[in-house]
């Protein structure tokens, strides 16, 4: 079961990292637009569309990656006080009652929305450049399917926690600086405690 969970995590990590480059592309595109608009007085007709397409692609395709890292927002003022088995039980119920119905509805509705846009070869109406937006709309069901797959991995994590009484480790990747600082502080405190005990 652990190998399947990590395989799904690695898939979504790869996709999330690949789409993270959209942020760099959008940043350079926006900087270019600012330069040509305000320095050269020659604005582009494609920069606005390109920036929202890149940012939307990141959000569609990196949601499963964020879920695999436990990075989505949660109200944990009570959750963190519960035992790990209680946490797993509540999460399992919430995945079944809320997550999967919503995400599967998004897959189905997004598929119709995306395929219709593909059939029409839809382009943006926001600029005269006619930037194609059907690839972005096709990302809706794909991103939702990846979220559903990652949700399945999270359900397996819950089952493992209920069985073993503890959460299994997640794959390590990029971490927020705050977590690193807290971990370093905990290591120093443990070392000082150990020295004081000797």
Pure H helices in 73-176: 84-94, 100-120, 134-164
- Taking the C-alpha atoms of residue 171 and residue 180, their distance in angstroms, rounded to an integer, is 15
How does pLDDT run across 93-137, given as a tens digit for each residue?
A: 999 999 999 999 999 999 999 999 999 999 888 777 788 889 999
pLDDT at 140: 93
What is the arithmetic mean of pLDDT over 145-165?
Answer: 94
pLDDT at 108: 95
Angle at 94 between CA 93 and CA 99, to 5 degrees: 130
Q: What is the pTM of this model?
A: 0.80
| Residue 177: pLDDT over 80 | no
pLDDT at 198: 63
pLDDT band at 141 (very low <50, low <70, confident <90, very high): very high
How does pLDDT run across 39-97, given as a tens digit for each residue?
A: 998 888 888 888 888 888 998 899 999 899 887 887 778 888 889 999 999 999 999 99
Q: What is the DSSP code (8-state) at residue 74?
A: -
Among residues 19, 11, 151, the alpha carbon closest in space to that of 72 is found at: 151
Q: What is the mean pLDDT of the chain?
A: 88
Dihedral of the alpha carbons of 49, 55, 57, 62, in degrees to the nearest 10: 180
């Amino acid at each position: 079961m652990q190998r399947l969970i990590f395989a799904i995590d690695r898939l979504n990590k790869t996709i999330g990292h690949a789409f993270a480059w959209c942020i760099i592309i959008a940043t350079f595109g926006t900087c270019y637009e600012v330069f040509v608009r305000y320095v050269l007085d020659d604005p582009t007709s494609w920069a606005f569309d390109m920036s929202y397409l890149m940012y939307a692609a990141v959000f569609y395709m990196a949601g499963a990656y964020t879920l695999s890292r436990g990075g989505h927002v949660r109200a944990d003022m009570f959750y963190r006080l519960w035992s790990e088995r209680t946490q797993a039980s509540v999460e399992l119920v919430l995945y079944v009652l809320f997550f999967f119905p919503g995400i599967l509805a998004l897959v189905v509705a997004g598929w119709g929305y995306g395929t219709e846009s593909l059939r029409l070869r839809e382009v943006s109406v926001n600029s005269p450049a006619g930037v194609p937006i059907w690839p972005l709309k096709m990302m809706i069901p794909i991103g939702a399917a990846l979220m559903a797959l990652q949700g399945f991995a999270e359900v397996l994590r819950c089952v493992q926690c209920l069985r073993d009484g503890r959460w299994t480790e997640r794959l390590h990747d990029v971490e927020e600086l705050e977590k690193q600082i807290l971990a370093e502080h905990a290591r120093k405190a443990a070392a000082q405690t150990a020295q004081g005990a000797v």
